[in-house]
Structure 1
Amino acid sequence: MRLSLSFTVLLASLTRVLAAAESDVLDLTATNFESVVNPADLILVEFFAPWCGHCKNLAPQYEEAATTLKAKNIPLAKVDCVDQSELCQTHGVSGYPTLKVFRKGTPTDYQGPRKADGIVSYMVKQSLPAVTNVKAADHAEFIKADRVVAVLYVNEEEEPPAPNFVKTAEKHRDDYLFGMVTDAEVAKAAGVTPPALVVYKKFDDGRVDYPSATVSSVTDAKLVSWLKENSVPLLDEVSGENYSLYAESGLPLAYVFVDPSAEGKDAFVETFKPLAKSYKGKINFVWIDAIKFGEHAKMMNLQEAKWPSFVIQDIEKQLKWPFDQSKELTIEEVAHFVKAYSEGRIAPSLKSQPIPETQDEPVFTLVTKEFDQVVFDESKDVFVEFYAPWCGHCKRLKPTWDQLGEKYAAVKDKLVIAKMDATENDIPPSAPFRVAGFPTLKFKPAGGREFIDYEGDRSFESLVEFVEKNAKNSLNVPAQDTAAAASTPVAAETPVATQDTQGQTHVEL
């Protein structure tokens, strides 16, 4: 039995050793971190925890990228933050996985995708100068080297718009691959006359030329705008992997929700391409898996699981315009709908819970239908918690927030302590803010419409201090009420790990 157990342990150890030997990802510890990282011109380091689900999902993609990048002399490494906790703390790691790009020991945050090809693309860009001097022998390969490649053809490096092109490349090297050609024969082979600017891309028509008449005078701002417009496919599937591309474009997003298993799905989606082309640069069009992302459909204020369906979303303002699901969804009807939206003739859909029949609790239950009436009442100070029912931090805040409502119950005609379920109620356009995380605490002093963010700790004493400092109304509360509120027990705060939509695990207090 002892021999069998020893053999099992030995076999497990050998398996780990062989796995490590086959890996192209370097293992870093406090002992070898500086000796490996500091001399490296470029290295990507992942700080991870073995129990982290997102780290486990990233692992095979990271391994694949490491193998590809090894041939390009760009090393990838990892640090186990359970085993090397002090090393991770030294590098300011607060969530998992955290990826950092190091150049000669100096770190910057990794801002790229988390799929193998995206990691490779991002790190290749990091290894190149902001603008690559493209020679004749390299041109054919270079214009296919990334998803979006911008190439400027000029007679000499100082010829306009080369200076602006270089400046743009320095700012956006993480986003696009930039090249410059000064060889007249290469320009001729590319079918352009310098100065000329071309975007080569791995989708749609594969190439877009900047208007030749204005190339020499293109500004940094116009160039960035043009690149953003042409880096988004005409009509592609959207998912967690590419959503940021659309969010960063600043344009409204038009979703075609479809069942991917439905017969004729591809042909149906294809019918939207002419409409998408007519609004290019104004509205981005995508199709989305309605079965996989059913919860997202609900967030877009689609009331039924009925596919296909169509919604336009203003990502920046978090407003939605769903097409009426009681009507048949045809490309003709959608075209009329999009035209009405673009001309400002239809109002956004605002989701709201019913107005409560009674408000007996010390904390006022706020819904969208009463938002303007309650929050913008200039006679009152208003302190609102925007929460999500599933949010652990919100649940821990609840007894403290209730305690705050109880403290000021005697002056609720002057100060409203409120809560709003932000998953069931939309923030109306009248509010000058959007909610990006939970809980979010906003204070609106009496006599105005400006909001103050609460960014302190979530103790009862700190909340009271904040209210007393910012309230415009007199909040004289009887001493016995204050004492009673202070004696109410409050649940202790404990560190909790949460995972966000970007794959980061955050430990909050």
Structure 2
Amino acid sequence: MEKRVPILLLLLLLSLEITVQAWPFSAEKWVVDGKVLELDDFNFDSAIAAFNYTLVDFYAPWCIHCKHLSPELDKAAPALAALKEPIVIAKVNADKFTRLATKYNVRGFPTLKLFVRGVPLDYNGPRKAYLLVHYLKKLVAPDVSILDSDTAISGFVEAAGADFPIYIGFGLNGSVLSDLATKYTKKAWFSVAKDFSENMMVLYDFDKVPALVVRHPRYIEQSVFYGPFEVEFLEDFVKQNMFPLAMPITYDTLKLLDNDERKIVLTIVEDEDEEKSKKLIRILKSAASANRDLVFAYVSIKQWEEFANTFSANKKTKLPKMVVWNRNEDYLTDLMTKKTIGKRYESGGLYVLDPLPPTSIACLSVASAFEAHCRLGHPSLPLLKSLCPQYSKVSSLDCESCQFAKYHRVSLSSRVNKRASVLFELVHSDVWGLSLILSKPGFRYFVTFMDDFSLVTWLYLMKNRYKFSIFCA
């Protein structure tokens, strides 16, 4: 018996030692305090199990990109922790803890993964702190929010911020938007307003229900859709209004275009903050509103010279320059003539043109000034020359539509000798249709607006005649 006592004591001491060593990891309590957690092989699983949402940065100490990302995560952590559904940021030295790196298929640094209730998802969103916060906040929000008061609507719009388009279905059933909301959950906010006052109708500028309103807070733009609410028409409206009428091309907005199949009409200017560039952007918006099957975008050499250079545009180029950017092919092609106008390859996330100078592609490379005039929404000749310098010698445009649109009818005779003295004091409108031939996007009507002072005319295509009501006060 005396010989067995030391052995039992030894076994007891060893068990106590093992318990003491294991205790800090098994009994560790995790709290959401707005700090970035440092995880390892021992505490990783318990941390992931403790939170519904955890963004994990798999990094290597020697990686320069990881060093740039680290302060952005430090800035984002407090904001994400303060959300109603908190998101915790953690990091793992994947160069040291290789078991975790292998388990979660980490092949480069930094690699970000979002763990949703323990399930890892690849994170490919923005990495700047404020953009990362907005992106993740959208990712964990409900697909469709149900709003039951004016206060709830205002709170939803305020919380959504200005980085994503906001779709609000007034008087719509939530099931109508559910599939689309799931499909576009990373790109837009979706909600259904069940109860609201007339003040909301005035604020969001619609006059009947059901109505689907989309707002782009950053660009101060809004559109209204009155139906039909079948899936095909509804998705067309959602896709066509996912971007502003004229989108500025930046590194972040460029990523948003990845899954959009439409061609991009890209205008290159010298400086987007100049007054002449702002005027040109307003023209692009008018053209975009009549051509929603295209994406109109612009980039300035001053703001992003490297990107503009991929289209052979620099400070010595005669600007503005306009190209049709076909991102789904190995060549840039002219939308009208289908001719190849330049070869491109991808380098560092940008499309670089072949070193051989391509054929001139300014102003869509269309065959004539008239084609450019029609494609851009029937601008006046001086505006067309400003937009497309190669037509500077054109003396006139024989456009029958413009001539008819500017005719003064008998009903306007009382003002024939009393023209408007300022812009938009008097605007003439005319609805045309029903066309016997259905256009490819499904339009059968159009409405023209003519400013009495400047005689500038705008044309909007419509699928249904009653859509004209959205223009009425």
The answer for the alignment partner of 1:80 in structure 2 is 93
Alpha-carbon distance between aligned partners in 1 of 2:133 and 2:330, rounded to the nearest angstrom: 33
Name structure 2 gaps, 5 residues minimum: 1-31, 359-473
Counterpart pick for 2:263 among 243, 249, 252 = 252
User: Residue deviations 1:390-440, cap 9 Å, x none?
Assistant: 9xxxxxxxxxxxxxxxxxxxxxxxxxxxxxx9954799xxxxxxxxxxxxx
The 8 Å contact of residues 343 and 354 in structure 2, kept in 1 or not, is answered as no
Are residues 84 and 185 of structure 1, via their aligned partners in 2, closer, same or farther at CA, if it must alter by over 3 Å? same
The answer for the alignment partner of 1:348 in structure 2 is 340
Structure 1 residue 315 and structure 2 residue 327: aligned? yes
Q: CA deviation at 1:173?
A: 1.4
The answer for the alignment partner of 1:485 in structure 2 is none
Alpha-carbon distance between aligned partners in 2 of 1:151 and 1:296, rounded to the nearest angstrom: 35
Structure 1 residue 267 and structure 2 residue 310: aligned? no
Alpha-carbon distance between aligned partners in 1 of 2:252 and 2:343, rounded to the nearest angstrom: 27
The 8 Å contact of residues 139 and 186 in structure 2, kept in 1 or not, is answered as yes
User: Residue deviations 1:91-125, cap 9 Å, x none?
Assistant: 11112222111122111122322222221122212
User: Residue deviations 1:445-499, cap 9 Å, x none?
Assistant: xxxxxxxxxxxxxxxxxxxxxxxxxxxxxxxxxxxxxxxxxxxxxxxxxxxxxxx
Structure 1 residue 109 and structure 2 residue 122: aligned? yes
CA RMSD of aligned residues (A): 3.5
Alpha-carbon distance between aligned partners in 2 of 1:227 and 1:104, rounded to the nearest angstrom: 30
Are residues 99 and 37 of structure 1, via their aligned partners in 2, closer, same or farther at CA, if it must alter by over 3 Å? same
The answer for the alignment partner of 1:194 in structure 2 is 209
Amino acid at match of 1:271: L
Alpha-carbon distance between aligned partners in 1 of 2:235 and 2:67, rounded to the nearest angstrom: 36
The 8 Å contact of residues 43 and 77 in structure 1, kept in 2 or not, is answered as yes
Amino acid at match of 1:203: R
Q: CA deviation at 1:302?
A: 4.9
User: Residue deviations 1:172-206, cap 9 Å, x none?
Assistant: 21221111121143765655543221112213343
Counterpart pick for 1:154 among 171, 188, 191 = 171
Q: CA deviation at 1:208?
A: 1.4
Amino acid at match of 1:150: Y
Alpha-carbon distance between aligned partners in 2 of 1:291 and 1:268, rounded to the nearest angstrom: 12
Alpha-carbon distance between aligned partners in 2 of 1:51 and 1:241, rounded to the nearest angstrom: 26
Alpha-carbon distance between aligned partners in 2 of 1:303 and 1:129, rounded to the nearest angstrom: 45
Counterpart pick for 1:177 among 189, 194, 197 = 189
Alpha-carbon distance between aligned partners in 2 of 1:88 and 1:169, rounded to the nearest angstrom: 33
The answer for the alignment partner of 2:177 in structure 1 is 165
Structure 1 residue 125 and structure 2 residue 125: aligned? no
Alpha-carbon distance between aligned partners in 1 of 2:233 and 2:95, rounded to the nearest angstrom: 47
Q: Aligned ranges for residues 338-417 of structure 1 at < 5 Å?
A: 342=335, 344-345=336-337, 347-351=339-343
Are residues 250 and 258 of structure 1, via their aligned partners in 2, closer, same or farther at CA, if it must alter by over 3 Å? same
Higher relative contact order (CA 8 A, sep 6+): 1
The 8 Å contact of residues 254 and 283 in structure 1, kept in 2 or not, is answered as yes
Are residues 346 and 198 of structure 1, via their aligned partners in 2, closer, same or farther at CA, if it must alter by over 3 Å? same
User: Percent sequence identity over matched residues?
Assistant: 23
Structure 1 residue 229 and structure 2 residue 240: aligned? yes
The answer for the alignment partner of 1:338 in structure 2 is none
Alpha-carbon distance between aligned partners in 2 of 1:251 and 1:424, rounded to the nearest angstrom: 26
User: Residue deviations 1:263-303, cap 9 Å, x none?
Assistant: x7343243232234323423323332425755544432559
The 8 Å contact of residues 311 and 353 in structure 2, kept in 1 or not, is answered as no
Alpha-carbon distance between aligned partners in 2 of 1:71 and 1:387, rounded to the nearest angstrom: 40
Partner secondary structure for residue 310 of structure 1: strand
Q: CA deviation at 1:80?
A: 1.9
Alpha-carbon distance between aligned partners in 2 of 1:291 and 1:185, rounded to the nearest angstrom: 46
The answer for the alignment partner of 2:102 in structure 1 is 89
The answer for the alignment partner of 1:446 in structure 2 is none
Amino acid at match of 1:199: V
Q: CA deviation at 1:314?
A: 0.9
Counterpart pick for 2:111 among 98, 102, 108 = 98
Name structure 1 gaps, 5 residues minimum: 1-20, 322-340, 353-385, 391-420, 428-509
Alpha-carbon distance between aligned partners in 1 of 2:330 and 2:288, rounded to the nearest angstrom: 20
Alpha-carbon distance between aligned partners in 1 of 2:185 and 2:167, rounded to the nearest angstrom: 11
Matched residue pairs, number? Answer: 313
Structure 1 residue 243 and structure 2 residue 236: aligned? no
